[in-house]
Structures are given as structure tokens and as C-alpha cells.
Amino acid sequence: MEKVVLYDCTLRDGTQGENVSLSVDDKLHIAQKLDEFGIHYIEGGWPGSNQKDAEFFSRARSLSWKNSSITAFGSTRHWKNPVDQDPNLAALLQAETPAVTLVGKSWDFHVTRALGISLQQNLQIIQESIDYLKKCNREVIFDAEHFFDGWRANPEYALGVIKAARDAGADWIVLCDTNGGNLPLTISRIVGPLNSQFPQLGIHTHNDCDLGTANSLAAVESGAQMVQGTINGYGERCGNANLCSIIPALELKMNRHTVGPDKLKNLTSLAYFVSETANMIVRNDLPYVGKSAFAHKGGLHVSGILKDSRTYEHIQPEQIGNQRRVLVSDLSGKSNLIYKIQEFGDFKLEQIDLAALLERIKELEYDGYQFEGAEASLKLLLHEFSGQSKKWFDFKGFRVLVDQDRHGNFVSEATVKISVDGMDEHVASEGNGPVNALDRAIKKALARFFPEIEEIRLIDYKVRVLDAQNATAARVRVLIESTDGHETWTTIGVSENVIEASWKAIVDSLLYKLIFLRERKGAAAQTEVPNARTAAS
């Protein structure tokens, strides 16, 4: 099995993406996670460009790296500076990394227009910079910037640039599609013939045509042995080639060794770790690692995967640390419900009338419910149709008031009446808004009977207008995410009244805790429980 070397540039190229910003601590945490995952080279930044990157390299020197070579990035010397007096080269050496990546121009247009020097002077500064770094005992990776555009414009000169780098002693020659405008066929046609002349070829692509991954794989197929990219495809403009797509494609589809099957199982967790650290969101539809990458909604698809997952999955999600999800909606068939019932494990299939349940789900979805994002409410619905439904409390009603005091401040107060085992409870609570007041009042009323209710706190609240043409009379969907400190669950409510929709979601949240999480802890079942969707009436 041929090996492909992985070069991660998330900590430099990735941070050039819009809204991506990392502190020194962030960069160190990510670097350690990349090292643990098995990345071969980690580009830490440009030490000559800012204080943050200089600090990163200073602190990285004191850490132990098991799998990765920390790499400093910089450009060839300024044409006016001797190599031993060039600040950029000096900063690269001061970083004290075993490897350095040197970027140089390979497009004649950039040489004459951007640098303002002759083509021969550009070759000279490339050769002298690499030679100098090699004499200082550094491994040198040469990034031939804009190589493919340069090849189209002047193939003889582009070839001359990488030959100059090779002859000066560069360990790796990396061909860059810096503008991200080339196609896989172009990449293959150019890389293939170069393979015999440059045994240590790499590829660095951008995603401006949505082809960063495809172009990287085309280069490997044509002989490239190193792939540069970023986690989740972060990077300038449309981003860099996404290593989270490239790595599994190499390992599972092209029979190339990168990190091996055991480490590959950590790919999804790596993607989410980096996104969390960068305060970004992993897109649900991101290939391989996205939440929806192995999500199935259509009944025909679910029927197929129940028989054999290969019918609608190109790999096993466990191979890259992801998981299969089956969604229940108005597009669902009985196969979806069977899968969810088996997945939940709390119900017996023979106890549930699947046809009636499916019809009820379609009715609710027509009204605006969406169980894809509210599995706790779906589980409560299954509980109702399984015949296990018990009555824990009765809601007699609630009232929410919003007042403005003489200082102009708004005050919200909610009043809730409930009955448990014939015992009535009538409480009021204030909040910083009507939903908050209602949430606090409901929990206050029930805590007397079920102390574990006090463990629940709301951690997310979303409102979606379903029929905007009705303006303020529009039906709304409310999603509430709750936690008890151990588990997290999401519930849903729909109504033309946002307070009622919120109330339904809150009640479902409490019922989920009492029915499923309470019984798991061994607490004895108490009185009968109503269904949350009918409790309002």
C-alpha cells in the first residue's frame, strides 16, 4: 500500500478564512490533536509575520510531538536582501522547527507584476533561499505558488522554477492551485509527466470551483505523494482542500496509507474538535464527518439500509467515527419507524400500530412539527402509541402577563395550575421574558412532587415562523434543547401562539426527563402521565 504524506495548514491557511480566528492556546490545542490523529506535518504559521505565530513556535518547542513535524512557513528572501540578512529567513530559523515551508512564485505574471523583478532574479532568490536553509539543517518544502496557472501561461518557466528548487536541495516540491480555478483533468495532465522528474511531489489546492478534494485526489492518482489541506476545508475565499474528505477517500477508496484504519475512526471527532475550538459550526451536509452524511429520510432508502447498509451508504460511518441516523418525517415509511424503534430500544415493535403512528406523524408534520430535530418529542410520541403512557400530572392552565413598570422596564410573570394525584399546586414566577417566566413557573410547580425537575435547564431556544405571509398571526415552531447535566435532548411545540408553542415544548422536555431518564436511574414509576400534545386541552 503506497503512503501519502499529510500536511495540515489549518493553523495558517485555515485562519485566513472569514470568521476563523485562533488564539495561541487554540493553535497549540489543535496541533496536539492533529499530532494525536497522525498528521505528518503541521504548519504552525508564519513566524515572521506576527507575534502570535512567533509565540506559537516558542511554546511548541517545549512540547513533545509523537507523529508530527511542526513546520514554519515563509517566503523566499527579498530580492534586495542577502540570505543571511533577510528578516523572513531569519524568523524561519528562529522558529527552530525541523522543517520549513518556503513559498515562491512560479507564474511569470506574478514575478513581473507582483514582485516587480525579472524572471531570472526570481529563480535566483528561490535557489539561494533553499540552499541557505538546507545548509542550516532544515528540511525544506517548496510551495510553487500558482503553479498550474503558471504552467498554462508559460510552461517552460514554471518547470524551470521547480527544477531550480529541486536542484537547490528542496526535499519536497509542492504544486499549488492557489486560485482554485483548475479542473481535475488539468491537474492530472500536468502532474503525471512530472512524477518521474520530481520523486517527492506534493499538491496544494483551493476550493474556488468546489474541486479542492477532487483536484488533490487527481494529483495523487497521477503520482503526488504529499497532500496539503485544512480540517473542514477552512481557508481564504472558498477554503482549502478539505482533509476530512481527502483522508478517508485516500484510505478507503484509493488504497493509500495515511493514518491507518484505527486513527481514521477519530476523524469525525477531530473535525468537531477543530470547529469547536475555532467557534465555527460543522455543516450538517459536510461529506464524511457532517451530521447528515449518513442520515436517511426517504422510506425507500431506510428500507434498503435495514437489509444492507451498502444499499445507500458508500462506506460504513463507523470507519470514520460518524454514525448512521434515520430521520422521521412526512416522507417516512414504516421502515423509518422500525429503525427508530429498534434504535431507541425502549419499545416493543409488536405493541405499536405503525400505520396509525405514521399517519399521526404526517398529520403533525403537516401542522408544522418536524421530528428530525426533536427526537425527544418523537420518543414521547412512540411512548404514547406503545400503550405505556402514564399520567404524572394534569395541567389545569397557565397565564402569562407582561407589564411595563414606571421606569420603562418590562416584567414578565407566569402563573401555572397543576394537579398531581389529586393535589393541586398553583404557583407564579417571574422571568426576563414570557417564555422564561413560564419555564420557571412550570418547574416550580412540579418540583414539589418531582425534585429531579430542578436539574433541568434550558440551553437553547429556537423559533421558526412557518407561514410568514400571515405576519404576526403566523404559525411558529419552537425547538427547545434541555439538559440535566448528564444528557441533552430536544423537544418541539407548534402553534399560532409562540407562548403556547413554547409551553408544549417545555412540557415535552419535562416529560422526557420523568419518563425516560428518571426510570433509567431506577426511580419508581409514579402516577399516570398525559401526552404533552393533549395536556393543553
Q: Which three cell numbers stand for residue 36?
A: 494525536
Longest dimension (CA), the chain: 94
Note the pLDDT tens digit of each residue in 305-314.
778 888 889 9
Alpha helices, H only, 265-387: 267-277, 299-307, 334-344, 354-367, 375-385
Question: Vertex 11, ends 274 and 286: CA angle to 5°?
Answer: 40
User: Residue 485: is its pLDDT beyond 60?
Assistant: yes
Burial class (CB in 10 A: 0-12, 13-18, 19+), 250: buried
Residue 248 contacts residue 267 (beta carbons within 8 Å): yes
| pLDDT value for 519 | 56
Domain boundaries, the chain: 2-277, 295-359, 394-535
Looking at residue 361, what is its pLDDT?
82
CATH number belonging to the domain at 394-535, selected among 3.30.870.10, 3.30.160.270, 3.90.1170.50, 3.10.310.40:
3.30.160.270
pLDDT, one tens digit per residue, over 206-235 is: 999 999 999 999 999 999 999 999 999 999
pTM above 0.75, yes or no: no
Question: Among 206-220, 232-246, 497-511, whose mean pLDDT is lowest?
Answer: 497-511
- Return the H-helix or E-strand segment holding 400: strand 394-404
CATH number of the domain located at residue range(s) 2-277 in this protein = 3.20.20.70
What is the separation, in whole angstroms, between the first and last Cα of the chain?
66
**For the residues 51-73, what does the mean pLDDT come to?**
96
Count of CB atoms situated within 10 Å of the CB of 269? 15
Asked if pLDDT for residue 23 goes beyond 90, the answer is yes
Residues 276-290, mean pLDDT to the nearest whole number: 90
pLDDT band for 471, please (50, 70, 90 cuts).
Answer: low
Measure the CA–CA gap between 479 and 322, rounded to whole angstroms.
24
Q: Helical H runs in 61-171?
A: 87-94, 108-110, 119-135, 147-153, 155-167
Helix (H, G, I), strand (E, B) or coil at 118: coil
| pLDDT tens column, 347-384 | 788 878 888 888 888 888 888 887 877 888 888 888 88
Tens digit of each residue's pLDDT (9 = 90 or more) over 79-138: 999 999 999 999 999 999 999 999 999 999 999 998 999 999 999 999 999 999 999 999
Give tens-digit pLDDT for 312-340: 899 999 999 998 877 776 556 677 778 87
User: Binning pLDDT at 50, 70 and 90, where does residue 391 land?
Assistant: confident
Let me know if 56 is exposed, middle or buried by CB neighbors in 10 A (0-12, 13-18, 19+). buried
Cβ 204 vs Cβ 180: under 8 Å: no
Tens digit of each residue's pLDDT (9 = 90 or more) over 460-469: 888 888 776 6
2-277 and 394-535 have identical folds:
no
Q: Among 170-174, 234-238, 500-504, whose mean pLDDT is lowest?
A: 500-504
Q: Supply 445's cell numbers.
A: 410547580
